[in-house]
Structures are given as C-alpha cells and as structure tokens.
Chains A and B, each alone.
Chain A
Amino acid sequence: MHMLRNRRIALVIDDTEESRIIYSAALKSIGFEPIPLSAIPSKDFFDQKPIDLILLDMRLGPVDAVPKIRDIARYSSAKIVVMTAFGSIDKAVEAVRNGAAGFFLKSDPIDSLTPKIKALFSESSTHEQVETFLDECGMKGRSKALLELAKLIMQVGPTQSTVLINGESGTGKELIAQAIHRASGASGPFVAINCSAIPEQLLESELFGVKRGAFTDAKQDRRGVLDAASGGTIFLDEIGELQPSLQAKLLRVIQECEFTPLGGTQPVKLRSRIVCATNRNLMQMMNEQKFREDLYYRIAVITLKAPSLRERLDDIPILVEYFLELYNRKCGKHLKMLRDHDLQMLSRYEWPGNIRELQNAVERAVVLGNEDHLSINLMLPHFNGGSVQEKMPKMLARTFNYKTTMDEFERSFLTDLLQAAHGNLSEAARMSGIYRANIYRMAKRLNIDLGREAEHAKY
C-alpha cells in the first residue's frame, strides 16, 4: 500500500533537456514533485513509486511513444498528458484515443498547461465534466463516439489552433464548432458563414468587410464577419467550396493574422479563432489541385471527425425523444415515444442523412401522426423492411434449425444484393467480395432464378 503523500508525483518524459527543465518548473509551480526522465521507465519503476501524472513527449528520439500509452495504462493509474509540437496533432488525437487524458502543444504558452493539469486532478470526475459539457452545448447523446468527441473538444477548445471538422452532411458540424467556441472561453461572439451559400464576389465582402465607396452600392462602411467575430470564433462552413482566389486570400489572412476590407488601405488585425468544416475529402481535392495544400495545413492544425449517426446508434432514442418533444410543442400535439420494437428498428436503418434526416423524420411523423405513439411508418415511409438486417430477427424467432436459417439468410442476402447491384452480377461480386462463380452456385443451390432477379432489380 502506498503511503500518504503531501505532493503528487509527476514524470516529465522528454528527450530534450530544456523541455524537461521547463515542464518540471511549470509542474513544480502547481505543487507537483517532478521527476525528469529521457525515456519511459520499466514496469518495476511504476511498482516502486506511485505516479500521479505523466507528461510524455510523443516522440522520444526514434521511439513513437503513442503505442506505449496502452502499456503504461496497464500497470499505472497515472494520468497521461502527451506533448507535441505543431504538425503532429493527429498523433496527439490518436494518443487521447489510446487512453491519454489530454495533450499539450509545445507551441502554446506554458501557462495554458497548468490549468489543464489542475482540471485533471479536480474533485469532480472527468466523465461528469464531459456530460455537463455536452448538456451545456446542446449536444444530445451519451454514446461512446460522442463522449470521445466531447473530450477532444474540451481539450482543443482552450488552444488557439485552427480546427477542421470533417463529417458527413447532417452530423452537426456547426454544433461542434459552437462547442469549441464555448470550450475556448473566448469573450467574443461565434459567427458562422457558409462558403457555399454565398456567391464568390459577395463572400469576399462578407468575410473582409467593405469600405464606403469600394463599389457603387457601398454607401457606408460594413464590417466583415472576420471583424465581427473579433475576440471570438469565426466558423467557415463548407470550406471545400471556397473558390481558388478566395483560398489564396484566406491563406494570407491566416498567415499574416490581418486582413484588409474591400476598398480599404489599412489592414485590420485578425483577433478571432478560425474553425472550418467540410463534408468533402480535402486531401483528395488537394491531389486534384482543387484545394490549396498550404491552406489545408493552416486550417487543419487540429482535425476533428463528426461521427455519423451510424457510429452513434446508441444516441437514437435520446435524439428521437428530444425532437419529439420539440415538434410536439411546436405542433401542439402529445404523441408518445415510439414503441420499443419500432425504436429498435431505427438502428437498423442506415441514416445517410444523419441527424438532420432523423430530425426531419420525427417532424414528419409528428405533423402527420394521428395515433397515440410516434409511427415508424410515418418517420421512414420508404424503409420497407426488406433488408437482410430487418428480416434476421424474424427468421431467428421462427426456427432454430441452423440449415433452414442459413438458407433463408442466404436467399434474402442474395436477393438484396442483386437488387442493390441492379441485377449486374459483376457489380454484385464486387460489392460482396464473393466470386461470380460462387454467386452462381449459391443461386443454383437456393433455386434462385438469376435472370428473373436481374429483371426485378431493374424496376
């Protein structure tokens, strides 16, 4: 058993001497007893000394420390905070996924490290803090994917780094950007602009502002959103749609931290944090020369992925309940929650439009609903229950005979597959990863007429 100690012990593991000294001094100033080391110690070391905190450089000479985090967590309950220089943020995010409690950018002021460490050791548990944070931000759900995202937002919020949010349409990227703004503690406003919704010429004046007389209609000075968001966060949605000429201008703004309004001569200092979002693959766009590489690296110092609804199926009941209450109130109705069986069915649907699709589905079902309960048929009228996933429970409920169940499964699978491949066997083979010959054999064994199925699939 460990003895009671007055001071918490922290390992400062970094292969450069100056880092060890600087971080040790910072930790000492908040009451830790730092032990500087140039490499990760063995398990024996942890057995002999109770360690509370490990400040770990992500790269120790040639050694990548990130995979070691899981090992350390196996024999020590110390909280691990990884340190990295800019340009390795993805690795830092991976470290958090591996179990690190947080990360720190060496390019951030050292003063911002100590509050992070203090917060880790504060009385209330991290989990509670994350849940409270989600509630404060209006982010509904408690799935693992959402909790992990919230933890990352709480980590990156207080930094000044640019953030790029990637994610499919309807995943709530703007809500994530607002959460980053909230976590930043910035006193200025959150200002959002959709780069695809505004014509190029207008977008430039919206971003940078206009000086009186800049063009015929410019009767007076007008502030741009970059200025309006001063002291806060500017959120550039659909950044992948930004035209090349504006990409160059935005790059200059980020590089030089200043911009000049249209028709103006005096540059204005940029005092807002930039957060961007896209559902496009910017890497691919860079390869196709459609998005500037230098701009990408400037806006994507930190990248966050907005999880699709498929990755957070556990959140569906909470989300349905939330939207049901919202639309009941709007429509003056009192529909009750979906029945359990229908609720389960929702998790078998793919939700290509993500939360926005779910929201629309609930709204439709509330507006059109006349029954006591929310109706899945009104929510998803096109979801005909024809998928294998939906048929499975019915089959399993009917028989426990293995061969019959497997035959029925394969029949259903093959029919669905051919339908999805529009009757094209090569496409079906590609989609399923099954050789064409084996598809033939399966169809023959199950007495499925491939010609007839192909004809059906066309309609």
Chain B
Amino acid sequence: MPNIDRVVYDNMRRVLQAAGQLEQVTESFCTNSQERIATILLAIEDQNAIRVAGIAHALKGSCAMFGARGSSEICQQIENACLDTSAETNYEHLRHLTLNLQDELKEVYSFIQCQVSSDKTDCCP
C-alpha cells in the first residue's frame, strides 16, 4: 500500500466528484507526474541540481494535494539534497531517490485509479 493520507485524499476526491472532475484531475496527475519524473532524471544526467529541485518542489505540491505523503516526503528529500550547500551534489543519490519516488508513485497511481473506478464498479475497499 502506498503511504496515503486518506483524510486528505478523500476530501479532495469529494470536492472533485461534486465538480465532476475527479477523472480528469487523476489523469492529469498521473500523466504530469510521470513526465516530471522523466524530466528529473534528465536533469540529473545534465547535473542540473537547480532544475531537479524546482521540479521536485512542484511535484511535492501535487503529491501533497493527493494525500500521497510518502511521495511528497521523497520529493522533499530530493529538494533538500539539491539545495544542500554544505556538500557537493551527489547525483547518484538523487537518481536513487528519484527511482524510489517512481516506485512509490506507481503504487499511488494504482490506488487512485482504483478509487476512481470504484465509483463505477466498487472494485476497491
């Protein structure tokens, strides 16, 4: 199970359901966050820590809104590692964190997609 804050997620889900936009936002989150992960990995290859930090920060906000606490915390770790001026940036460590984030997000996607489809089929608890 991904580390999800159910209160935050359920709250957001209710607001979006009422607006008829839950599916749209879920899809947008999944697509955009995957793109961001890909961009982070490219920026790591380019050794561009500032860019990595910027994207991780934006992703942190999106994850937080979905209650994806675990993913949000990994984003924070990536951001901190990029902005830490006391040591040289360890890009291998950043890559490792980003891959962890990717794995965590995969679980988040399946959770939230399942929640969306449960509205129609009751497939999830």
| Interface of A toward B, CB cutoff 8 Å | 14-19, 21-22, 25-26, 28-29, 57, 59, 61-62, 83-88, 105-111
Task: Give the distance in Å from the alpha carbon of A107 to the alpha carbon of B68 in the complex.
Answer: 9
B29-69 interface code vs A (CB 8 A; 1 in, 0 out)? 10010000000000000000010001001101111110101
Residue of A nearest to B80 (CB): A87
Q: Which of chain B's residues have a CB closer than 8 A to the CB of A109?
A: 7-8, 11-12
Q: Knowing A17-B32, A28-B19, say if A105 contacts B64 (CB, 8 Å).
A: yes
Write the nearest CB–CB distance from A398 to chain B, whole angstroms: 54
Task: Give the distance in Å from the alpha carbon of A59 to the alpha carbon of B50 in the complex.
Answer: 13
Residue of A nearest to B5 (CB): A107
Task: Give the distance in Å from the alpha carbon of A106 to the alpha carbon of B24 in the complex.
Answer: 19
Indicate whether B16 reaches chain A with its CB closer than 8 angstroms: yes
Indicate whether B123 reaches chain A with its CB closer than 8 angstroms: no
Q: Which of chain A's residues have a CB closer than 8 A to the CB of B58?
A: 15-16, 59, 61
Give the residues from 13 to 36 in chain B that come closer than 8 angstroms, CB to CB, to chain A. Answer: 15-16, 18-19, 21, 24-25, 28-29, 32
* Complex contact A25–B16 (CB within 8 A): yes
Task: Give the distance in Å from the alpha carbon of A15 to the alpha carbon of B12 in the complex.
Answer: 19
Task: Give the distance in Å from the alpha carbon of A47 to the alpha carbon of B21 in the complex.
Answer: 31
Indicate whether B76 reaches chain A with its CB closer than 8 angstroms: yes
* Complex contact B19–A29 (CB within 8 A): yes
Contact of B72 among A14, A16, A57, A85 (CB under 8 A): A85
Interface size on B, residues (CB 8 A): 32
* Complex contact A25–B15 (CB within 8 A): yes
Q: Knowing A86-B72, A109-B8, say if A18 contacts B28 (CB, 8 Å).
A: yes
Q: Which of chain B's residues have a CB closer than 8 A to the CB of A107?
A: 5, 8, 64-65, 67, 69, 72
* Complex contact B61–A57 (CB within 8 A): yes
Chosen A-B contacts, 20 in total, with CB atoms closer than 8 Å, are: A17-B32, A18-B62, A18-B65, A21-B24, A21-B28, A25-B15, A25-B18, A28-B19, A59-B54, A61-B58, A85-B63, A85-B64, A87-B60, A87-B80, A106-B64, A107-B5, A107-B67, A107-B72, A109-B12, A110-B65
Residue of A nearest to B8 (CB): A109
Q: Knowing A25-B18, A107-B69, A110-B65, say if A59 contacts B57 (CB, 8 Å).
A: yes
Write the nearest CB–CB distance from A14 to chain B, whole angstroms: 8
Residue of B nearest to A160 (CB): B7
Residue of A nearest to B11 (CB): A109
Q: Which of chain B's residues have a CB closer than 8 A to the CB of A25?
A: 15-16, 18-19, 21
* Complex contact A19–B65 (CB within 8 A): yes
Write the nearest CB–CB distance from B96 to chain A, whole angstroms: 19
Q: Which of chain A's residues have a CB closer than 8 A to the CB of B50?
A: 62
Q: Which of chain B's residues have a CB closer than 8 A to the CB of A110?
A: 8, 11-12, 15, 65
* Complex contact A16–B11 (CB within 8 A): no
Write the nearest CB–CB distance from A109 to chain B, whole angstroms: 4
Task: Give the distance in Å from the alpha carbon of A61 to the alpha carbon of B61 in the complex.
Answer: 12
Q: Which of chain A's residues have a CB closer than 8 A to the CB of B60?
A: 85-87
Task: Give the distance in Å from the alpha carbon of A351 to the alpha carbon of B63 in the complex.
Answer: 47
Task: Give the distance in Å from the alpha carbon of A252 to the alpha carbon of B64 in the complex.
Answer: 22
Write the nearest CB–CB distance from A116 to chain B, whole angstroms: 14
Q: Knowing A25-B16, A85-B61, A107-B64, say if A18 contacts B11 (CB, 8 Å).
A: no
Contact of B12 among A22, A57, A62 (CB under 8 A): A22
Given A86-B72, A106-B64, A107-B8, 11 more A-B residue pairs with CB atoms under 8 Å apart are A15-B58, A17-B32, A21-B21, A22-B65, A59-B57, A85-B57, A85-B64, A106-B61, A107-B69, A109-B8, A110-B12
Task: Give the distance in Å from the alpha carbon of A110 to the alpha carbon of B60 in the complex.
Answer: 16
Write the nearest CB–CB distance from B6 to chain A, whole angstroms: 10
Residue of B nearest to A108 (CB): B8
Q: Which of A21, A62, A84, A88 has the most CB of B within 10 A?
A: A21
Q: Which of B65, B67, B75 has the most CB of A within 10 A?
A: B65
* Complex contact A86–B76 (CB within 8 A): yes
Residue of B nearest to A114 (CB): B15
Task: Give the distance in Å from the alpha carbon of A25 to the alpha carbon of B18 in the complex.
Answer: 8
B54-94 interface code vs A (CB 8 A; 1 in, 0 out)? 10011011111101010010011001100000000000000
Task: Give the distance in Å from the alpha carbon of A88 to the alpha carbon of B72 in the complex.
Answer: 13
Task: Give the distance in Å from the alpha carbon of A260 to the alpha carbon of B58 in the complex.
Answer: 37
Task: Give the distance in Å from the alpha carbon of A85 to the alpha carbon of B124 in the complex.
Answer: 28
Task: Give the distance in Å from the alpha carbon of A29 to the alpha carbon of B76 in the complex.
Answer: 31
Instruction: Give the 9 A-B CB pairs with smallest separation, nearest first.
Output: A25-B19, A109-B11, A107-B64, A106-B64, A85-B61, A85-B60, A85-B64, A87-B76, A18-B28
